[in-house]
A and B are shown apart, each in its own frame.
Chain A
Amino acid sequence: MKKLLIAFIATAGMISVTAPAYAHHAFAAEYDALKPVTLKGSLTKLEWVNPHAWLHVDVKGDDGKVTNWAIEFGSPNALLRRGLRKTDFPEGLQVVINGYRAKNGAPTVNGTSVKLPDGRDLFTGSSGTGAPVEQQ
């Protein structure tokens, strides 16, 4: 007779503990303050999720090889409150990103500024996490 687990809420699916993931962290825990980086490329995808939105950008290296970088930046609510919507970030949008590289060498960046073709700089600092451009 199968083990009968009567539960009000069916959470029968086992939640596999994925690799410890980070929601919002102290900047210094994951990014390297001594590795600032500037990336120019075209947007492939925007993840409009809390606690931090993610830009994915194709960047052509000097060797011509294209790498897709993941850029963690501000909280969506901060962007929403500035009137920005995901429709302002179409695929292929040309962006210039400043930020700091991840410690583990992956093509991951904590974005501190995102310049759009029209010159707007989406102030993005991951506020409150000790990131370089921390709000007051």
Chain B
Amino acid sequence: MKGIHLSIALVGILFSLPAHAQTGPAVPRLKDGKPNLSGFWQVLNTAAFDIQDHVAQKGVPGGQGVVEGNEIPYQPWALAQKKENYQNRATADPEGRCFLLGVPRVTYSGRPFQIFQASGGPIITILYEYAHTNRFIYLNGTPHPPGPIDWWMGDARAKWEGDTLVVDNVHFNDKTWFDRAGNFHSEDLHVIERYTLTDADHINYQVRIEDPKVFTRPWNMNMVLYRRTEKDFQLLDYECYAFDIDKYYP
């Protein structure tokens, strides 16, 4: 009889899905029972330009921000730095020099990316169209390698909490921005990503940012990732640092 109570409780969990109601087809799962994140994903928001609320400018669509509460708790000196970054964004933005975008910016860069996940597999691989960036999300229980290490994309170790993939990221450098509006961080950045399939075609992507050197408290971003459903869709290239030298290699 005991099993029955468990299943009822379990069903209860299933129905306490995140606020975003499930309207589409149900969450696909692998044989190991885990939600299957495999596929092509992309955002539709304008966080790539500015993760906070912003009105449109020429070539820059307006957008409702992805920062929960729309407030980034900078320390005073850091807010001044951010404003300075904004002034110089045309030249200071690392994306302008085609450098790797860092996490979580690479997710909402406005380019598609592809998630590869195998049943019971030790690693989830993500390939991003932007400058063929890739990330390995380790699920095999291994810890982060001992630091300090400064990587553009950091080191990702993950575990499942129910139907949510929780990815812990450390070992960042201080050279990436969170968007084109100058929002920045230090090498002490610690990012916790949460990927939750709300239905077959949408992921609720939530990110917690911790960096005591720059912010007075942790803060969160929250957005929807859309599965690309076009027939025969695939990633192409965005080799941005090749654009200027293309002509030398006809």
Contact = CB atoms under 8 A, between A and B. Distances in A.
Direct contact between the two chains A and B in their complex (CB within 8 A): yes
Which of A2, A4, A7, A8 counts the most chain B CB atoms within 10 A?
A: A4
Main SS at interface, chain A: loop
Nearest to B60: A7
Interface in A1-60: 1-12, 15
Interface string B58-96: 111100000000000000000000000000001100011
Nearest to A7: B59
A1 B91 CA distance: 10
Contacts of B59: 5, 7-12
Nearest to A15: B58
B231 interface: no
A11 B58 contact: yes
A10 B60 CA distance: 10
B61 A1 contact: no
A71 to B, nearest CB: 35
A12 B180 CA distance: 17
Contact of A1 (B58, B97, B180): B97
B60 A1 contact: no
Contacts of A2: 243-244
A15 B59 CA distance: 12
B214 to A, nearest CB: 25
